[in-house]
Amino acid sequence: MRKSILGLSASILACALAAVSAPAFAQDGPTPELTVTGNAAVVTDYRFRGISQTDKRFALQGGLTVTHSSGFYVSTWGSSIDDYVAAGSDQELDLIAGYSKTVGAATFDVGVLYYYYPGSGGGNTDFVEPYASIKGTFGPATAKLTANYAPKAKALTVDGVHKEDNLYLAGDLSASIPNTPLGVSAHLGHSFGPSYLVPVGKGYTDWSVGATYTWSHLTFGVSYVDTDTHFRPNAAAGNFRDAARGGVVGSVTASF
């Protein structure tokens, strides 16, 4: 199954350094024009819109983001994948450029994401997906609505002849528990097809609930992910594992 992200977006942990023995008249330094953040993670299963990209096995992931003070940013994110995702490729690399602006309690984000699958054996697997989101913060809680649209492309073909497009709509809720390192989250999304990103029929729904524990630069996560569809990508080889079936996913993420 060709596809990413989170689809996964990369988690970012901000670090503040306190001055020691600073004089009383010390001033905060100017806000840097460029901010660089990154992360590395190990997950027990890489799920993209509810469907496993690793045949329900472990994946190594990592990302890097450069943000300008104006709100423009560029980012890259990668993950190991199973070879059924993109014509034999065993890795996914996402290249992202966008702009984010906060107005009051709302944050607007628009950009474009390019899915690149190196070593895909000459297959036409890469595609572009513009996206837009709005996020609101209410005390310790955050709500986010996202739309991703991939224009018609050969990489999304179902019959190998006609180009297809794909629309994905999602809503996310997350909250930190005050005075604790704990957080909770919930996700609901729907993929509209037909396209290669929709394994069966004209569309399907995915959802998840999860919790995190943050300690220093490390975040430990556990979630339950499920869909209302089925996808057995290796059935021809005698492996009838359902990549769309619900399951528990664990993760350890280091942010810097």
The answer to whether the beta carbons of residues 158 and 164 sit under 8 Å apart is: yes
- Domains parsed from the chain with CATH numbers: 34-255 (2.40.160.40)
Please give the model's pTM, rounded to 2 decimal places. 0.87
Half-sphere exposure (CA, 13 Å, Cβ side) for 42? 3
Segment 116-124 mean pLDDT: 82
Q: Which pLDDT band holds residue 29 (cuts at 50, 70, 90)?
A: low
Residue 22 has pLDDT above 70, yes or no: no
- The CA distance from 22 to 187, in Å, is 45
Kindly give, in sequence order, each residue whose CB lies less than 8 Å from that of residue 55, ignoring residues fewer than 6 positions away: 82, 84, 233, 234, 239, 241, 243
The better pLDDT of the pair 4, 106 is held by 106
| The pLDDT value given to residue 3 | 60
Residue 27 has pLDDT above 80, yes or no: no
- The CA distance from 108 to 71, in Å, is 10
Q: Which pLDDT band holds residue 182 (cuts at 50, 70, 90)?
A: very high
Q: Which pLDDT band holds residue 120 (cuts at 50, 70, 90)?
A: confident
Other CB atoms within 10 A of residue 102 CB: 12
| The pLDDT value given to residue 19 | 33
Backbone angles phi, psi at 235, to 5 degrees: -65, -35
Q: How far from 240 is each of 48, 82, 155, 158, CA to CA, in Å?
A: 19, 15, 25, 21
Segment 71-88 mean pLDDT: 94
Residue 254 has pLDDT above 80, yes or no: yes
| The pLDDT value given to residue 159 | 86
Segment 1-5 mean pLDDT: 51
pLDDT in tens, 196-208: 999 888 899 999 9
